[in-house]
Amino acid sequence: MFTQMQEPALTVRKGSINSLTPQNSSAYQSNYPLVMTQRQEFQVIRTYSEFELREYQPCVIAEVKLSGQYSTVGSQAFRHLFQYISQGNKTSQKIAMTAPVIAAQHTDHSNSDDWYISFVMPAGSTYEQMPHPNDPEVTLRALDSQMCVALSFRGRATQEKSNQLIKELRAAAAKENIALSSETRICRFDPPFKPGILHYNEIVIPVI
């Protein structure tokens, strides 16, 4: 069951971590992770009873494609991506870590074991200015602004829990006549050493 987002129907607000102030806090915003790491920027366009409709700002991602079980590909990809932002690039540049770490999958593909794990580059980054990776497994991609639906949840983002929430989010969006992409994103905001019960996560699905 969904438990967040009990606001009036139509709102527009910034979703970056810097906007979490008492002046614009709300029942849903209180679920956002209060961390110092820069968060991927978005605006909340509309708040429904069970999810948010968001517009994500243009960004650059560093991405690794792996095949395997969700429980293992994340840690494998993380090593490649962390090496990239830790001077493992053509200019030996250190790049700030941001949140979330995104695990994306396309449900209409024949190989359902393919995962795309990505780090979002700091706000304001452009593809042209980002250093190219030394590791051939890491790919840079520029993403345009994008409308998505999203919900948040606490606890460990296991495959079973995530799959159930993906089904619920798709069903809730369908009731509102919102057409969704086949892509789903499991977004994790906390390090693995943090107690699992405190983990903050989101399910995000692009709108088509």
Is 47 found in the same domain as 149? yes
Residue 164 tokens read as: 């159930």
CATH number of the domain that residue 85 is part of? 3.20.80.10
DSSP 148-199: EEEEEEES---HHHHHHHHHHHHHHHHHTT--B-SEEEEEE-S-TTS-GGG-
Taking only the tens place, the pLDDT of each residue in 61-90 is: 999 999 999 989 999 999 999 999 999 999
Structural domain count of the chain: 2
Nearest to 143, CA basis, from 54, 61, 53, 45: 61
Helices 159-175 and 70-85, interaxial angle, to 10°?
A: 90
Return phi, psi of residue 31, to 5°.
-85, -15
Instruction: Tell me whether residue 82 is in a domain.
Output: yes
Residue 190 tokens read as: 């906390």
Domain containing residue 36: 10-57+145-206
Longest Cα pair distance anywhere in the chain, in angstroms?
49
Instruction: Tokens 């517009």: give the residue.
Output: 55
| Contact (Cβ atoms closer than 8 angstroms) between residue 63 and residue 141 | yes
pLDDT value for 34: 53
Taking only the tens place, the pLDDT of each residue in 162-171 is: 999 999 999 9
Is 75 found in the same domain as 45? no
Whole-angstrom distance, CA of residue 151 vs CA of residue 201:
9
pLDDT-based confidence at residue 149 (cuts at 50, 70, 90): very high
Instruction: Tell me whether residue 4 is in a domain.
Output: no
What's the one-letter identity of residue 27?
A: A
Neighbours of 183 (CB within 10 A): 17
Residue 63 tokens read as: 């991405």
Percent of the chain with pLDDT over 90: 75
Whole-angstrom distance, CA of residue 202 vs CA of residue 198:
13
Whole-angstrom distance, CA of residue 85 vs CA of residue 75:
15
In 3-state terms, the chain is what percent helix, strand and coil (to 5)? 20, 35, 40
Taking only the tens place, the pLDDT of each residue in 100-134 is: 999 999 876 555 789 999 999 999 999 999 999 99
Is 69 found in the same domain as 137? yes
Rounded mean pLDDT of the chain? 85
- Give the 3-state secondary structure of 18-58: HHCCHHHCCCCHHHCCCCCCEECCEEEEEECCCCEEEEECC
Instruction: Tell me whether residue 5 is in a domain.
Output: no
Average pLDDT for 134-139 = 98
Is 86 found in the same domain as 52? no
Instruction: Tokens 């650059």: give the residue.
Output: 60
